[in-house]
Amino acid sequence: MGNYTSLKLEPEVWRGLNEISEFENYTKRELVDFIATKKPANQSVSSAVRIFLLNYYRDALKSQNKKLRNFLSKK
């Protein structure tokens, strides 16, 4: 577990963190701990969480676009 005690995040970031933790079946603490272990040493946990969310949703959008393109190409 990390040694951070609180995170200052915007409400939208907290909502995204909640959505991802529920979807992936992790607690918020488990997800933040995972993010904290993967971040560069010179990056804050808050910043790492924001970047993780951005990348997570980008990857989801790319995946969804592939599915949509495949579906549309079959018509």
Question: Mean pLDDT, to the nearest integer, of 66-74?
Answer: 68
pTM to 2 decimal places: 0.80
Would you list the domain boundaries of the chain?
11-73
Cβ-count burial of 17 within 10 angstroms (0-12 exposed, 13-18 middle, 19+ buried)?
buried
* pLDDT value of position 21: 96
* pLDDT value of position 2: 54
46 within 8 A of 9, measured Cβ to Cβ: yes
Q: Which amino acid is at 31?
A: L
* pLDDT value of position 63: 82
CA torsion, ordered 27, 32, 38, 44, to nearest 10 deg? 180
